[in-house]
Structure 1
Amino acid sequence: MERRDFLKTTGLLTTAAGAALALPTGIARAGTPQPSSDIVLGRWMSRVADDVSLCNITIPGTHDSGATAGGLWWQCQEWDIRRQLDNGIRYLDIRADHHDLRICHGNVTMPDTFTDVLRHCDQFLARNESETILIRVKREGAGNGISGQDFVSAFDRIAGPLKKQGRLIQPAVIPTLREARGKVVVISNAGGLPGIPWAGGDCGTFENGHMVVQDHYKAPTAPRSWKKFTQHVEPFLVRAHNVPIKGKLYVNHLSATGATSGAATPYTIAKDDAFSRGVNHLTKDRIHGWTGPALGIVAMDYANLPDGQGAWLIHDLIRRNH
């Protein structure tokens, strides 16, 4: 069955087209340049050549993409998956547990399941076949009782139809955009699950044969956003820009939390406050006007934040590819 026929039969196909970049009403400050409207967020990858490896593309992403609830310490996004994709995000960080692969952050369950995530992705790709979506699939919240083998079995059951139809791939190496267009690409962060192997441990910078990952998620002491940016995010941006490793995908997490100490929430790390800029805005300022090698995946919390903290950052990341 063709993707469009599948979506019609399930009621998922909509007539919405990729919209040009538009900011929410009323968020622009006087004297602040708005993102150019020449980028079509639903199809920005259409302007990237087929033979480019995914590791040579700068890709806007979200951290804990499905964590849209749970309160201050656990929520990381306000946009749901559909809105993230419509607004230019092409990397999703999906953590799941339970036999239906319910989305979770730690042991806190979220409204959606992995089935919901794949529906949104497939619906989006049906409308925008030039695009690809990278999904990190992580088994999290292991205290809920699902074994590693059960996790892989649940993934195969849920993703099997899309995989059979060639709309979801689990490559062992990083593909080119030609190989990935119109498809979900799995990055595996679960034992026994095929896919591009994730490089990571608990908290730090990690590297394997395919990826280099910065994930210092424990919030530093005050000024927390500034220290997270200057100690971890900025050096990793510079590393990706100045010393790229051929064939390796960089993933730079802007996210941090002080959940264990009560020091800071994902929201307060990401956003500006009355005295200083948050990590998202600091990152936007740092990369604005940069040219040269790709920065890899830049994964943010609260991608919807206004005034340089969300839309402008996504815009500047996409702009590096054009």
Structure 2
Amino acid sequence: MTLQLPLMETILLWLVSVSSGALQRPDYDDTPTPEFLNPSWMADIPSSRPLSEITMPGTHNTMALYGGGLAECQSWSLPHQLRAGVRFLDVRVRHVGGNLTIHHGISYQYAHFGDVLQAVDAFLKEHPSETVLMRIREELSETRDIYAAVVRYIHTYARWDLLWHSRRMPTMGEARGKIIVLQEFPGPALGMRYSSLHIADDWQVPSMDHVSEKWQSVYNHLEKALVSDRSRMYLTYSSGASIRAWPYALARRVNPLLYDHLTARAGKPRRFGIITADFPGAPLLRDIINFNWGNKTSA
């Protein structure tokens, strides 16, 4: 029997993913632990600086550690990501019976929203100079009514004053020790609206033959962030996926382009906004962070 091409490609990608072994490069890391940590880098950011003027690293589908090559986007646990310097989290919750479980599509991630809140709360208690931006999006379910459940989880697993309860862009001083919710669901303000950010998320990459188009989208948005309104936060996703371009495979191609581009621009302060990645390496995170100072070495 002849296999259809998409299924054959899926099998080949799976075989590559299970046989290629873990990599730890400056731009890409799918090992369990970061090469080095950078837990308190925001301590040196002036308290008067708006968050929209800070360049910071993030992870796409932050909790997607399970489900195979097409579902997995990260290899570090949430505490490891935070200690490595990640300050933007992309959290996907499935809403069933009032419960908020963590999913990437159909793939359950063996965690619930309370686990995320507890990990971030513990990190911020240990590192009160920091802040964490958290996109919260409903995934798989389509109730469009997760506000009450989110509030209940906050009261149960964290604390109400952990959040920045305003749509306004906070300064670094106002944000220290807090979660800035980027709210992508209806309801009263738990934080800023996700839609208030200027976002480039061209995640649909038809195949590995389209890496150059994906990179061009990333490049264009990073360049726009340098010269555009600094009162508006910019968010650039370097990640992408499809049945013919699995997240790890795409990250192994796009992350080095991002790393080389940023390395070439190093040496002076630059406002790129939030730059997210799948499987980022610790040196890539460090280089993103260092644009807040230029020549300063933060780790």
How high is the TM-score relative to the length of structure 2?
0.81
The CA distance in 2 between the partners of 1:219 and 1:87, in whole Å, is 28
Q: Could you tell me whether the CA contact under 8 Å between 1:53 and 1:174 is conserved in 2?
A: yes
Find the residue that maps to 2:289 and give its secondary structure. Answer: helix
Compare 217-226 and 54-63 and name the one that shifted more. Answer: 217-226
Q: Name whichever structure is richer in helix by fraction.
A: 2
The CA distance in 1 between the partners of 2:188 and 2:118, in whole Å, is 20
Alignment partner of 1:85 is 2:60 = no
Q: Could you tell me whether the CA contact under 8 Å between 2:130 and 2:176 is conserved in 1?
A: yes
User: In the TM superposition, what is the alpha-carbon distance from 1:72 to its structure 2 partner?
Assistant: 1.3
Residue in 2 that maps onto 1:118: 117
The CA distance in 1 between the partners of 2:54 and 2:38, in whole Å, is 15
Find the residue that maps to 1:86 and give its secondary structure. Answer: helix
User: In the TM superposition, what is the alpha-carbon distance from 1:132 to its structure 2 partner?
Assistant: 0.4
For 1:172, which of 142, 153, 167 is the aligned residue? 167
Residue in 1 that maps onto 2:147: 152
User: In the TM superposition, what is the alpha-carbon distance from 1:148 to its structure 2 partner?
Assistant: 2.8
Alignment partner of 1:283 is 2:258 = yes
Find the residue that maps to 2:99 and give its secondary structure. Answer: coil
Q: Could you tell me whether the CA contact under 8 Å between 1:224 and 1:269 is conserved in 2?
A: no
1:59-112 Cα deviation digits (max 9, x unpaired): 100000011101111111111111100111011000101322111112322111
Residue in 2 that maps onto 1:73: 70
Residue in 1 that maps onto 2:180: 185
The AA in structure 2 aligned to 1:297 is: I
User: In the TM superposition, what is the alpha-carbon distance from 1:27 to its structure 2 partner?
Assistant: 5.2
The AA in structure 1 aligned to 2:248 is: Y
For 2:270, which of 290, 293, 317 is the aligned residue? 293
How high is the TM-score relative to the length of structure 1?
0.75
Q: Could you tell me whether the CA contact under 8 Å between 1:62 and 1:91 is conserved in 2?
A: yes
User: In the TM superposition, what is the alpha-carbon distance from 1:221 to its structure 2 partner?
Assistant: 4.3
The CA distance in 1 between the partners of 2:71 and 2:147, in whole Å, is 25
The AA in structure 1 aligned to 2:274 is: I
Alignment partner of 1:237 is 2:225 = no
CA RMSD of aligned residues (A): 1.9
The CA distance in 1 between the partners of 2:279 and 2:46, in whole Å, is 30
The CA distance in 1 between the partners of 2:256 and 2:185, in whole Å, is 32
The AA in structure 1 aligned to 2:261 is: R
Q: Could you tell me whether the CA contact under 8 Å between 2:208 and 2:250 is conserved in 1?
A: no
Residue in 2 that maps onto 1:256: 240
The AA in structure 2 aligned to 1:53 is: P
Residue in 2 that maps onto 1:23: none
Alignment partner of 1:320 is 2:295 = no
1:190-231 Cα deviation digits (max 9, x unpaired): 1225221112xxxxxxxxxx310000000144433333112x
Q: Could you tell me whether the CA contact under 8 Å between 1:101 and 1:154 is conserved in 2?
A: yes
The AA in structure 2 aligned to 1:235 is: N
Identity of aligned residues (%): 31
The CA distance in 1 between the partners of 2:123 and 2:129, in whole Å, is 11
Residue in 2 that maps onto 1:48: 45
Quick one: structure 1 residues 76 and 43, their matched pair in 2 at CA, closer, same or farther if it must change by over 3 Å? same
1:226-274 Cα deviation digits (max 9, x unpaired): 33112x0011111111x2213111000011101xxx2110100001xxx
The CA distance in 2 between the partners of 1:228 and 1:156, in whole Å, is 36
Unaligned runs of 5+ in 2: 1-22, 27-35, 294-299
The AA in structure 2 aligned to 1:293 is: R
Residue in 1 that maps onto 2:129: 130
Residue in 2 that maps onto 1:267: 248
Q: Could you tell me whether the CA contact under 8 Å between 1:170 and 1:187 is conserved in 2?
A: no
Residue in 2 that maps onto 1:22: none
Find the residue that maps to 1:172 and give its secondary structure. Answer: coil
Residue in 1 that maps onto 2:198: 212
The AA in structure 1 aligned to 2:91 is: I
Quick one: structure 1 residues 40 and 65, their matched pair in 2 at CA, closer, same or farther if it must change by over 3 Å? closer
